[in-house]
Structure 1
Amino acid sequence: MNLNLLIDNLTSPALLFFILGIVAVRLKSDLEIPQNSSKFISLYLLFSIGFNGGRELAHSHFTLEIVWAILFGVLTSLLIPFYSFIILKRKLSIENAGAIAAAYGSISAVTFVTAVSFLEIQNVPFSGHMVAVMALMEAPAIIVGVVLIRLYGKKDSSSPRIGSLVSHSFTNGSVMMILGSLIIGLLASEKQAQGIAPFTTDIFKGFLAIFLLDMGIVSGRKLNDFIKSGWFTSLFAILVPLINGCFIAWISGLVTAETGDRLMFSILAASASYIAVPAAMKMAVPKANPGLYLPMALAVTFPFNITFGMPIYMSIILG
């Protein structure tokens, strides 16, 4: 692994603010970001990523590579839950195994946002269509997770239908914001886009730093719950995302030669959802324990990816 790449990532302000949040919790500080402010910052980051992705897409021609990128992303999101479920059901209940498998097959928009910042620091561009790939990777894993629970678990006639789950996935606030912003960015003229450029680009890194501070605080609070769950979930939350990210970093070269796009594929495959999946599982599988899959995704996999994961995947891509 490129040591300079790792050091650059570990000393970036965004990551250090995340660590500050964890430290504040461990020291029992009263530091916190107001809930309404946190939600606004989340929406802003998704808006900025989506809008700029739409602008990039507007400047590019629709090619077969974009089609392959979308298919590759969706296929990845479909396959990861299957083998994750097989591993998890050996130690956990069917409901918990399915929920965790769905979380790790789906994606984390926040990790994607952090990867954007990482690529900017490295001066590596990525294609606008990767925003669309990210949004389309969210729902398939949720569907697979629910189907696996129904196949292996007890039948429950009160469970919502697959169609309602798909609809819920795409109308989820984070997906709606990023897809809507993507379309608006695609339709906006150059002059119109320039008019809001200070808001869509100039303040992005500052908001990201504050958001990661908030994520550090949330992660720090959930860390104790996760530690109590035992070694199996701890190992899974680190090793499976690492394997996913490394494998996709290697095989994504068959789909695109763009370094930035390959890193985005890797980080999407390695990330775990802690927004859309918990919302869907609460509706579809109420017996699944959020005290397991939320801390796994948020307190372990997310920090691992933004500290060590991204430099590892980038090193594989650069060969």
Structure 2
Amino acid sequence: MQSFLDPAILFFVFGILAGALKSNLEIPPQISRFLSLYLLMALGLKGGFALAKSGLTPEVSISLGLALLLAVLVPALGYLILRRWLSGFDAAAIAATYGSVSAVTFITAVQFLDTHGIAYGGHMAAAMALMESPAIIMAVLLANLVRRKEAAKTGATAGATAASAPGPLSKVMHEALTDGAQLLLIGAMLVGILSGEAGKSAMQPFAGDLFKGMLSFFLLDMGLLAARNMGKLRSQPPLLIAYALGAPLVHAGLALSLSVLCGLSAGNAALLMVLAASASYIAVPAVVRHAIPEANPSLYFGMSLGLTFPFNILLGIPLYVSVAQRVIPG
């Protein structure tokens, strides 16, 4: 219950209520974009400062390795499950959405750990950056495989199949690996590592003092956006709604098992659980809409933003942290 009294979470709830009431309250897109970039820059700096202090420890290497492993396992598992009920294109798009990560969910989790005095490693920001792209690349490869199978059934030539594809894989990979938000996070982290403790002191008013207020403002906007996308799910099959709420729990459980097996701390395990449980609603939909135009955007976008994101912000984060603390001794 205490997590619901956090100002950032309360602003998110307020945004959902305002959106449900069809209020004309709106955050201009330019401001929303600025807030998103600010949060990523501040998070990258915090991670860089922490890495400059701790150095490259075994837990850092293990955490990053587990992040990459989950970035492959989660979309692969999602595709195998969803392919039973959906077309190959929709299954690949949803698998990519849930295989990638939500930066805002991760940032909210970091703030939650800070508020409750739970230690974690700044390198987990790097884990988030590593987990964003593999799912997109896997989805595009799966979609191309589906196209070839459909072409074989219809007797289309290889040239016709290639012509129907939205673009070369190299272009999609370039977009996935050079996304501006991801590059900003990595660049800010490098700045933090290079500037160290002196940089931390200099940037404290920007990356520290303002962080909570900026996050609250951004979550207000996310609450409004989530409320407006919940209506799109009314016509969707109950199976997809169950997946949007159940998959995060399964993915978080997988991350916790790997964390216990590899000896991660409770704080790092909790953040790995949050990353595995989150679903992208910005980077992946933008790329997938171009790379897999055959997929239905209302499915992967509506599920991630209308259900999974609110679930993780309101219930998931405190649940994952509590379970990690109970399973992993402090």
When normalised by structure 2's length, the TM-score is 0.91
List per-residue Cα deviations over 1:139-160 (Å, max 9, x = no partner): 1111111222222343541343
Contact 1:17 1:210 in 2 (8 A): yes
Letter aligned with residue 259 of structure 2: S
Residues 169 and 175 in structure 1, CA contact (< 8 A), matched pair in contact too = no
Bigger shift: residues 107-116 or 221-230: 221-230
1:281-292 pair list within 5 angstroms: 281-292=288-299
Distance 1:17 1:60 in 2: 34
Range 243-252 or range 151-160, more displaced: 151-160
Mean CA deviation greater in 252-261 or 129-138: 252-261
Can you list the C-alpha shifts for 1:276-313, whole angstroms capped at 9, x where unaligned?
11121122111111111111111110111111112222
Q: RMSD in angstroms over aligned alpha carbons? A: 1.4
Q: Provide the residue aligned with 1:169 in structure 2.
A: 176
Q: Match for residue 4 of structure 1?
A: none
Report the equivalent of 2:220.
Answer: 213
Query: Is the Cα–Cα contact under 8 Å of residues 63 and 264 in structure 2 kept in the other structure?
Result: no
Cα 1:91–1:318 change in 2 (3 A) is same
Q: Report the identity percentage.
A: 41
- 2:3 is aligned to 9
Distance of 1:130 and 1:217 partners within structure 2:
28
Q: Which moved more, 1:240-249 or 1:152-161?
A: 152-161
In 1, the alpha carbon distance for the partners of 2:20 and 2:59 equals: 47
How far apart in 2 are the matches of 1:268 and 1:274? Answer: 13
Is the CA contact (8 Å cut-off) linking 1:50 and 1:182 kept in structure 2? yes
Supply the AA of the counterpart residue of 1:69.
Answer: S
**Counterparts of 1:85 and 1:286 in 2: how far apart (Å)?**
17
Deviation at 1:165, TM superposition (A): 2.4
In structure 2, the partner of 1:236 is 243
Shift of 1:189: 4.0
Structure-2 change in CA distance of 1:139 and 1:195 (3 Å): same
Supply the distance in 1 between the matched residues of 2:145 and 2:266 (Cα, whole angstroms).
39
Q: Secondary structure at the match of 2:25?
A: coil
Structure 1, unaligned stretches of length 5 or more? 1-6
Aligned length: 313
Tell me, yes or no, if the aligned pair for 1:52 and 1:182 is still in contact at 8 Å: yes
Alignment of 1:318 with 2:325, yes or no, is yes
Which amino acid letter does the alignment assign opposite residue 301 of structure 1?
T
Given that 2:48 and 2:192 are in contact with CA atoms closer than 8 Å, whether structure 1 keeps it comes out as yes
1: CA distance, partners of 2:168 / 2:223: 36
C-alpha separation between the residues in 2 aligned to 1:80 and 1:257?
A: 19
Distance 1:128 1:255 in 2: 18
Would the alpha carbon gap of residues 74 and 189 (structure 1) be closer, same or farther in structure 2, given more than 3 Å must change?
Answer: closer
Q: Would the aligned equivalents of 1:246 and 1:316 in 2 still touch at CA under 8 Å?
A: no
The Cα shift of 1:162 comes to: 3.2
Structure 2: gaps of 5 or more residues: 152-160
Cα deviation, residue 25, structure 1 = 1.4
Distance (whole Å) between structure 1 residues aligned to residue 295 and residue 229 of structure 2: 17
Would the aligned equivalents of 1:250 and 1:317 in 2 still touch at CA under 8 Å? no
Shift of 1:61: 2.1
Q: 1:78 touches 1:141 (CA, 8 Å); kept in 2?
A: yes
Cα deviation 1:60-113 (Å, max 9, x = unaligned): 121332222111101101011112112212222211110000110111111111
SS of 1:196 mapped into structure 2: helix
* Partner SS for 2:243: helix
The equivalent residue for 2:268 is 261
Return the index of the structure with the highest Cα Rg: 2
SS state of the match for residue 133, structure 2? helix
Amino acid in the other structure paired with 2:252: G
